[in-house]
Structure 1
Amino acid sequence: MQIFESNSPLLPEIFSLHGKWRAQQEAVICGRERLTWAQFIAGNHRLANGLLARGVNPRDAVGVVMSNGVPMLQAMMGLMAMGAVSVPINLSVNDDGLVSMLNDAGVTALIVSADQRARIESLIPSMPKSLKLMVCDQGADDDWVSFEQLVATAGEQLPKVGIEATDRLNIIYSSGTTGLPKGIVHTQGGRRDWAYDLAIALRYHCNSKTLLTIGLYSNISWVAMLTTLLAGGTLVIAKKFEANAFLDIVQDEKITHTAMVPIQFQRVIECLEKSKNEYDLGSLDAMMSCGSPLHAELKQSIFDYMPCGIIELYGLTEGVITTIEPEQSEGRWSSVGKPLIGTDIRIVDDNDVQMAANQSGEIVSRGRITMPGYLNRPDANAEASYTDEDGKVWLRTGDIGYFDDEGFIYIVDRKKDMILTGGQNVYPQDIEAVMFEHPAVNDVAVIAAPSNRWGETPIAIVVCDEKSAATMNEITKWSNQRLGKQQRIAAAIAVNELPRNPNGKILKRELKKVHSVVSYD
């Protein structure tokens, strides 16, 4: 017998209750703009109700092409509150990639910041036929609705739209400037569970004050956003990252949490070294590093300069996560820890046989935080699936690793040859597809090389048409004009042929041995 209703509220309801019970506590800070929880939630709900009144429906996909700021945060939270599916776009992607992603998602509306409006207007002819509403945070005309117009008569109540846990919440694209994009789907229930589990692992609480320094489209930012908001804390948004500004904000705002990529931490440590550690960083409770490996020397420097140490997170947007606690790092500087609570991990060989401790193989994972699948990509879903002896399906990571005798996990290599530059995923095949369009390029392989600035950077190993007079500098310039900002190659290197196995597959590991010894700025 059940007398009382006992449901598990989704994030829109949880956040709405924070607006009620934490009304006067600060929820968001960006520069001089400061919003209480009551103001933040009221604004989110007005946006949601305004979109509903303009014909955007629950479960519709809505593209978000915006720079960091309160408007972008409220756009994504407003879409969540009305049960729509946000599709946040990495602003560094090139125009072809942006159009490809929005078409793949089938967006019915676009929300853009004023600095992105001209770019979007130039691409209107290529936008999906489903597009029926364009919203800009500032300014309005016959084609655009402003935020001010959108919320003018909208109510502040949480929309009653019947959101289900299995409804899509967002789609985050991991690649797609050329060819088929890979949209990673997250659900309302999945994101809630993900935030709960991460909040425990990353030590969030109701007094957390979290500094966001990466684009809000990034899943790294979503980690920090949702865990902080779930706990009822405060978000501090930086419009861009600068190491000195980071330290000033931490000191002045008494920041407790942040999530960044290793190259950002490296810049912060360099600033601390130059300043002779003059900053007061005592407010920091926990910091997370993810996106690329945190090398042992840098990790130890973080512990030397920052009293809270660092929690290193290994994970995929698709839904596998491990973390290593600061207290566990001594003597395990290269480890990425153990699986997130409720998540299981196996190591399997090329024949899908489970490996014992200290044996390297592909990392596979399963748990409640795993995505339901890629959007419109049954081929990618099949490729990413591993089925165990009990018929349970696990997510293949494409990464090679092992666990030691105590169960601590170590990453050995990236099976998929993905390049992690500045914490962003860059896929060599996307760059190669562009470079093959150059008339002088007969063959090309893109690999990662060390970068003093970005951690890794793409370089291209090129086989040219023997009749071509094109130089490597010319090919580099031509390619970078057509690539997204983070895809741009640091160099093109001429060779007579590329090494291949008997099946014709390029042996990138051999190329890396020869060409990845030089570091680029």
Structure 2
Amino acid sequence: MESIADLLAQPFGTLPDLIRRHAAEQPDKIAVTDGDDELTYRELDSIMDRAVAVLQRDGTAQGQAVAMVSYPSTAQAAVFLAAVRAGSIAAPIQPSATPEQIAGMVADSGANLVFLDAANAKALAAQRISATVVMLEDLEPWLAPEGTRPQPVEIKPDDGFNIIYSSGTTGIPKGIVQSHTMRWQHLSRNSAAGFDTAVTLLATPLYSNTTLVSFLPTLAWGGTAVLMKKFDARRYLELAQQYRATHTMLVPVQYQRIMALPDFDRFDLSSFRFKTCTSAPFKARLKRDVVNRWPGKLVEYYGMTEGGASFILVADENPDKLHTVGRLSPGHQAILLDEEGKEVAPGEMGEIVGRSPAMMNGYHKREGATRESEYYDADGNRWIRHGDVGRFDEDGFLILMDRKKDMIISGGFNIYPSDLEAVLAEHPAVADCTVVGVPSDEWGETPVGFYVPRAGATETAEDVRTATNAKLGKTQRLSALYVTDELPRSAIGKVLKRELRDQLAAGNFGGMN
């Protein structure tokens, strides 16, 4: 019989088949736990079958979405995987969106069934949901009887695996459709990560690709996934110690909060072998702190939920490259384009465009947006625009500058907020910060900063601005700097710059203070 590694080395396969294999070979091993409940591989495989049987009975078509709005739980995980086994498309939706947006995403997905947990059912009580609701807390009565086996389903490589709705502060976010082929690439490329013996601690939600790129390989290889329902830095360390976690995926703000705990060093983290990070800028000094104080490899991934090119930085092996996001993943390609769509010269900055075997089918029901995200070269090859600006150093490591849309054009000069943020972050009074561009009658746009003060800091915002501007070029200087208790962030740690601009326009920041 072929090993799991041999199966994952094949050009194509499916995650549900791998889970069934684990259920046969290691039925009593814990597949998923959320701290309150746990499922062995036998139990997970059985629930998936029982759920698929009901989906088939009640007319959920192959290729149709199955939506879920829930905080991380074993029940949500089982329903997600059941939808995939049924040949339907799993559509996890972020509870952090407004009720109106959630209802809009359910409708946009085309789901005829939505699974809710109690907390989100309460939040959505006033909304009209365009799908039949099943409560995750009442999942057992909904399932087909024990031992039920559904009708076999043929899954093809280009069939949809899941829809990931991109974060957004207004309107209905775009749904990114990822195929079984794309997910198979994510599963098979992790052959060296040791997921077969992993205990993977996950502190981000299951509607995020950030979570799924660790959660799904853990199950594919036969490890154990530990889900945190809500992130808390100290609780994370307690769980890591309790479960003897070996793997984790965290976003930079989570690393920041964990490393800032005064008693971080008293926790036993010696079981860790593989720590990963993605989704937001990861400061070099924070990477260095993690490498120095937290056992195991630290690997940063840069890429898009939409696919394109992925980059990998093994931080502990490249201490002089911590300001970069690493080199191209094997089998991936990337080029940098100027404003006219021409490839830039070596060492110059440009928009990142990538291609690989792992690329989205497109945005759900948004052909125009899909076309805007694509680039076709002279040979007709399809690439994905990353929307980021960067440059390669002399060793082929990618240095990110900023999101293309966040670049500030002030007086005709291009200003990259990340350059300003790096200088602002060096000030001893600054715990967290960001820079955005706002309209200016004089310059067209001008850079404005926001920062969270460190505990005990006595400097005023004007003191910090003056010190920061002294280190910046004349065209880069901050025209204003505002103090805030906390920067608004998405559930995966991205600063919501549009929200800050809206708050500033609404007069919520009266002046520098």
CA RMSD of aligned residues (A): 3.3
Matched, 1:73 2:80: no
| TM-score w.r.t. length of structure 2 | 0.77
Quote the Cα distance in structure 2 between the aligned partners of 1:378 and 1:448: 36
SS at match of 2:82: helix
Which residue does 1:460 correspond to in 2?
A: none
Are residue 334 (structure 1) and residue 323 (structure 2) matched?
yes
Distance 2:372 2:11 in 1: 36
Residues 257 and 284, structure 1, Cα contact 8 Å, conserved in 2: yes
Tell me, yes or no, if the aligned pair for 1:96 and 1:178 is still in contact at 8 Å.
no
Equivalent position to 1:278, from 266, 271, 278:
266
Partner of 1:34: 38
Residue pairs, 1:247-286, within 5 angstroms = 247-271=237-261, 274-275=262-263, 277-286=265-274
Is structure 2 residue 208 aligned with structure 1 residue 210? no
- The corresponding residue for 1:313 is 301
Q: 1:493: which partner in 2? A: 504
User: Judging changes above 3 Å, is the alpha-carbon distance between structure 1 residues 446 and 58 closer, same or farther for their aligned structure 2 residues?
Assistant: farther
Instruction: Read off the aligned partner of 2:157 and give its amino acid letter.
Output: A
Q: Percent identity?
A: 29
Residue 161 and residue 27 in structure 1: after superposition, are their counterparts in 2 closer, same or farther (change >3 A)? same
Whether the 8 Å contact between 1:290 and 1:314 is mirrored in structure 2 is yes
Counterpart position of 1:102: 106
Residue by residue, what CA displacement relative to the aligned partner does 1:133-178 show, whole Å, maximum 9, x if unpaired? Answer: 221112xxxxxxx412221426454641222221111111114553
Question: Would the aligned equivalents of 2:33 and 2:73 in 1 still touch at CA under 8 Å?
Answer: no
1:172 aligns with 2:161: no
What does residue 64 of structure 1 align with? 68
Letter in 1 for 2:127: L
| Residue in 1 that maps onto 2:464 | none
Letter of the 1:349 partner, please give it.
D
Gaps of at least 5 residues in structure 1 are 139-145, 421-427, 433-442, 454-475, 497-514
Distance 1:262 1:351, change over 3 A: same
Paired residue secondary structure (1:190): helix
Shift of 1:355: 2.1
Q: CA deviation at 1:259?
A: 0.5
* Matched position secondary structure for 2:95: coil
Contact 1:336-1:411 at 8 Å conserved across structures: yes
Change (3 A) 1:276 1:93: closer
The change in CA–CA distance for 1:352 and 1:64 in structure 2 (over 3 A counts) is same
AA matched with 1:263: V
**Does 1:401 pair with 2:390?**
yes
Q: How far apart are residue 492 of structure 1 and its match? A: 3.4
Distance 1:234 1:392 in 2: 39
Task: Choose from 228, 234, 241 the match for 2:218.
Answer: 228
Shift of residue 314, structure 1, vs aligned partner = 1.2
Counterpart amino acid of 2:503? A
Q: Which residue of 1 aligns with 2:468?
A: none
Q: What does residue 196 of structure 1 align with?
A: 188
- Per-residue CA deviations over 1:436-495 (Å, capped at 9, x if unaligned) read xxxxxxx99998845579xxxxxxxxxxxxxxxxxxxxxx9xxx9xxxx98654983369
1:97 to 1:180, Cα distance in 2 relative to 1, 3 A? closer
Native 8 Å contact 1:50 1:154 kept in 2 = no
C-alpha distance in 2, partners of 1:452/1:342? 43
Q: Does 2:287 match 1:299?
A: yes
For 1:402 and 1:370, the matched residues in 2 are separated by 22
1:88-487, aligned counterparts within 5 Å? Answer: 88-124=92-128, 127-128=129-130, 131=131, 133-138=132-137, 146-153=138-145, 155-157=147-149, 159-176=151-168, 178-179=170-171, 181-197=173-189, 199-200=190-191, 203-271=193-261, 274-275=262-263, 277-319=265-307, 320-417=309-406, 449-450=450-451
State the Cα deviation string for residues 97-150 of structure 1 (Å, max 9, x = none).
Answer: 2122222222211111122113333212xx34xx3x221112xxxxxxx41222
Query: Is contact 2:34-2:227 (8 Å) kept?
Result: yes
1:327: Cα distance to partner?
3.9
Shift of the 492–269 alpha-carbon distance from structure 1 to 2, 3 Å rule, reads same
Q: Tell me which residue corresponds to 1:470.
A: none
Report the more deviating stretch, 409-418 or 231-240.
409-418
**Distance in 2, Cα, partners of 1:405 & 1:411:** 14
CA shift in 2, pair 1:61/1:358, >3 Å: same
Q: Is the 8 A contact 1:185 1:372 kept in 2?
A: yes
CA offsets 1:483-510 (integer angstroms, 9 cap, x no match): xx986549833699xxxxxxxxxxxxxx
In the superposition, the TM-score normalised over structure 1's length comes to 0.76
Is there any run of 5+ residues in structure 2 with no aligned partner, and where?
1-6, 408-416, 419-435, 439-443, 455-483
In the aligned structure 2, how far is the partner of 1:66 from the partner of 1:447?
Answer: 36
